Structure 1
Amino acid sequence: MLVLAVLQRLRFLAVLVFALGAFGEGAQAADAPSRAPLILISIDGFRWDYLNRGVSPNLTALAAGGVRAERMLPSFPSITFPNHYTLVTGLYPDHHGVVANTFEDPAAPGGVFHMSSKDEVWWAGGTPLWDTARSQGIVTATEFWPGSETAIRGVRPDYWDAYNAAKGGDRRVDQVLAWLDLPPAQRPGFITLYFEAVDSGGHLFGPDSPQVNTAIASVDGYIGRLVAGLKARNMPTDIIVVADHGMAAVSRDNTVYLDDLADASAMHVVFTDAVAGIDIPDTPAGRAAEARLLGAHPHLTCWKKGEVPKRLHYGTNPRVPDVVCMADVGWLVESRAEAARHHFPLKGEHGYDNQAPEMGALFIASGPDFKAGAVLPPFPNVDVYPLMAKLLGVKPEPNDGDIAPVQAALAR
């Protein structure tokens, strides 16, 4: 009887301990503060000083009530796909492997990356934040972002839309708001949103054109629609608005032709525009062509891939061509064969030295977790990733960013 009584007492204590433990876990979860959703917005090609033109009242209000940077430094080359993937991985293009908008990799399917490439192998050099957040229990959604249409190691956002340039900005915003209207368990905690009109206007008409101002005002209206929608829902939300790069005025009259510098038959041009990548065959003619390219040229500087200046963080990835050439701001570098295929006037371009003021990008952050009225000195865009990871409360993947330059943006 004594033994039975002891066993019953032990069972009672075990049940009590379990119940108290369960109650403690429930109380802890109930007391834990809920995090504000985070929306990352990219306005492609929105140069940092466009904010001063007086045509973007909604963005100006976000900056005044939150944080802005004097300018954000894109990664090199300062072009769209490498920088968008840098923003969500915290890795320089040389490390995540999307080294240009178009590049080659013989080991990959098809051998050539284009902006429509979806195969995982092109993107697997980095883990985007939506995958990291999802693996740590946060629902994620992407209303367009390079890489978001690809399942990377079997993971993609919970909700995502295939890029469709014809889908207007109002509809994009309404999709984001519809996701935020979902029940709490299904509601995204991290969302991306993308607009391309400012970049398109800059290329076609130049950064100082009235058409760019019209595009800025149009996108600003979409931002206003989003902010109004959040206010109507009484939903405190952290918003980070970035650009992937700036824009410089150019003319096709200011073009350096690679064919005029070296034997065209002895080099393979991989990509051109503000920056060119050239593969060189290991032949006497190839070595002669390389020596010509590496010489001094007006408005153009070329390096062997392993000798690109360290501050550019570029040239170690196998996908970077043998020779990298960077034009002076306002100039272009092309082959004559490629130039003959152009069918539109180019008035604006990017891709130049990422420290050039014309390449500086927009950065604004606003919401309950940000200070009001703070201005950050210039910082590299790799630092946005650890900032977002902190806001989401997730353990970041290894990255090239540093939260210290942006820590002052946070309210706590």
Structure 2
Amino acid sequence: MTRLTDHLIVISFDCLSSLDIPMLEELPNFKELLEKGAHCKNVETIYPSVTYPCHATIVTGRFPNRHGIINNTFLQPGASSPDWYWHRKYVSGTTLYDEARKAGMKTAALLWPVTAKAKINYNMPEIFANRSWQHQIPVSLANGTPLYQLEMNRKFGKIRKGLNQPELDDFVLESTVDTITAKKPNLLLVHFVDLDTQRHYHGFSSEEAIAAIRRHDVRLGKIVEALKEAGIYQDSTIVALGDHSALNESKAIKPNVVLKERGLIKIDENNKVLSWQAYCKSCDGSAYIYVKDEHDLETKHTVHGLFESLVEDSNSGIERVLTGEEAAAKGADGNAFLLIEAQRDYYFKEYLTGEFIDEITDNDVKEGRYTHASHGYSPEKDNYTTVLMAAGKGIKPNTTIPSMHLVDEGPTFARLLGLDLGDTDGQSIDELLKV
């Protein structure tokens, strides 16, 4: 297959939405990318539309139930901080960076989800210390490229303030610029989280979110300048994309509270889960309902009846119930017994105690119990699409694609690099490309 570019730079601006396009059209660097190259303002995301499944889809071209990353975090009932799908080993099948490496290309990834211990030449994976005895730097070093990460920390570590934003993205930016100029990778994947963080904690259209988009425009400009400084700009393709949108919410639904009341979850005086027959695993705007024993027909009957009755109650916040088979047909985890969808203004939490529905206060958000906006909702929700913009070598200029799907991105990127991702759910959008 003919290779269309020498250097592919994929920049994920987490939570960038189609609704942001009017603002992007006014910002200098996004505006230039939109005007110079090809773009799609309506990219349909996956179900559930949360960050880790989305980013696995972007590099595989497959839906979550095929690549295996069906949520951000694992089903660990009662855990206050469940482990995330950090590691490459959880992705089924091949990825864009695997195929690039096999083809002899130089690869780099900065905070790209689900890349811990991946075979990437210069890898700074998104992973954090999730145990009280762990420290962030050793955890990162053990799961990525040690010497590369030590070099980036030595040069730019003083910028960081733990995992706080915007400092973390500022650190990632400087590391990205240095990687471009010093390493000149053929494939670079970089993940910025500033906007997603501001939307979670301040709301979709908050001043803080708008400020984050402005910072992202500056970051995009600095990456373009780095390509020019490295002397590879003319041989490069720049892609800026979002993984999902977000919706504001003011109420949190706690399905595990009613499952506990039905005797399907048992806890001790410290709220530790002792046993469970059914459990709600949140994906924010949607949630999986798992039944521990697939042969437990009595529990299944009880659980299905419970959630069907909640859907009929307009005050429950639950919009729809899908069976596991229906969820699988939409690309979600078919091993779940049910998949439930929240109404607008609601989202799901796994808490086991308190009221079934909580009104979210600013103090709740400040103390980390809840957020003001979230994602994970069905891609069928109105005004919930994301975006893709591309320019440079191999991209048709002045081209607009009316609509595409997140699963199409991986095959399109593979086509640019002359690679094949195999049996994908999406297809290369050749209308974007100079094929």
- Alignment-mate amino acid for residue 145 of structure 1: W
TM-score (norm 1): 0.79
**Residue of structure 2 equivalent to 1:409:** 432
The range that moved more, 197-206 or 334-343, is 334-343
**Residue of structure 2 equivalent to 1:229:** 226
The range that moved more, 344-353 or 293-302, is 293-302
Counterpart-to-counterpart distance in 1, 2:299 and 2:169? 51
Q: Retained in 2: the 8 A contact 1:56–1:216?
A: no
Q: CA, structure 1 residues 257+148, in 2 after alignment: closer, same or farther (shift >3 Å)?
A: closer
Helix, strand or coil for the counterpart of 2:345? coil
The range that moved more, 229-238 or 72-81, is 229-238
* CA-to-aligned-CA distance 1:105-153 (integer Å, 9 cap, x gap): 99xxx9x9722643x5423x132211111011111110121122223xx
Counterpart-to-counterpart distance in 2, 1:332 and 1:121? 30
Counterpart-to-counterpart distance in 2, 1:121 and 1:149? 8
Identity among equivalent pairs (%):
22
Residue 42 of structure 2 is aligned to residue 71 of structure 1: yes
Counterpart-to-counterpart distance in 1, 2:371 and 2:11? 26
- Alignment-mate amino acid for residue 122 of structure 1: Y
User: In the alignment, which of 47, 52, 59 is matched to residue 17 of structure 2?
Assistant: 47
Residue 306 of structure 2 is aligned to residue 307 of structure 1: no
Residue 298 of structure 2 is aligned to residue 284 of structure 1: yes
1:199 is displaced (CA, Å) by 0.4
Counterpart-to-counterpart distance in 2, 1:257 and 1:105? 16
Counterpart-to-counterpart distance in 2, 1:172 and 1:334? 30
* CA-to-aligned-CA distance 1:134-179 (integer Å, 9 cap, x gap): 011111110121122223xxxx101111337466444433333333
Alignment of 1:7-406 (within 5 A): 35-53=5-23, 56-104=27-75, 114-115=83-84, 117-118=86-87, 121-123=89-91, 125-151=92-118, 156-163=119-126, 165=163, 168-182=168-182, 187-235=184-232, 236=234, 237-252=236-251, 255=253, 257=255, 259-260=257-258, 263-266=261-264, 267-280=278-291, 281=293, 282=296, 284-295=298-309, 296-297=311-312, 298=314, 299-308=318-327, 310=329, 312-316=330-334, 318=335, 321-334=336-349, 337=352, 343-344=367-368, 345-403=370-428, 406=429
Helix, strand or coil for the counterpart of 2:35? helix
Q: CA, structure 1 residues 392+265, in 2 after alignment: closer, same or farther (shift >3 Å)?
A: same
Q: Retained in 1: the 8 A contact 2:286–2:342?
A: yes
Q: CA, structure 1 residues 265+272, in 2 after alignment: closer, same or farther (shift >3 Å)?
A: farther
- Alignment-mate amino acid for residue 332 of structure 2: Y
Q: CA, structure 1 residues 81+261, in 2 after alignment: closer, same or farther (shift >3 Å)?
A: same
Q: Retained in 1: the 8 A contact 2:18–2:387?
A: yes
What is the total number of aligned residue pairs between the two structures? 361
- Alignment-mate amino acid for residue 120 of structure 2: P
Q: CA, structure 1 residues 49+373, in 2 after alignment: closer, same or farther (shift >3 Å)?
A: farther
Counterpart-to-counterpart distance in 1, 2:173 and 2:303? 51
Alpha-carbon RMSD: 2.9
Counterpart-to-counterpart distance in 2, 1:93 and 1:206? 27
Query: What are structure 1's unaligned runs of at least 5 residues?
Result: 1-31
Counterpart-to-counterpart distance in 1, 2:354 and 2:23? 33
- Alignment-mate amino acid for residue 177 of structure 2: L
The range that moved more, 342-351 or 160-169, is 160-169
1:331 is displaced (CA, Å) by 1.8
* CA-to-aligned-CA distance 1:49-68 (integer Å, 9 cap, x gap): 21212563211211111111
Q: CA, structure 1 residues 339+101, in 2 after alignment: closer, same or farther (shift >3 Å)?
A: farther
- Alignment-mate amino acid for residue 68 of structure 1: H
Helix, strand or coil for the counterpart of 2:239? strand
Counterpart-to-counterpart distance in 2, 1:386 and 1:209? 35
The range that moved more, 168-177 or 39-48, is 168-177
TM-score (norm 2): 0.75
Q: Retained in 1: the 8 A contact 2:319–2:342?
A: yes
Helix, strand or coil for the counterpart of 1:324? strand
The range that moved more, 265-274 or 358-367, is 265-274
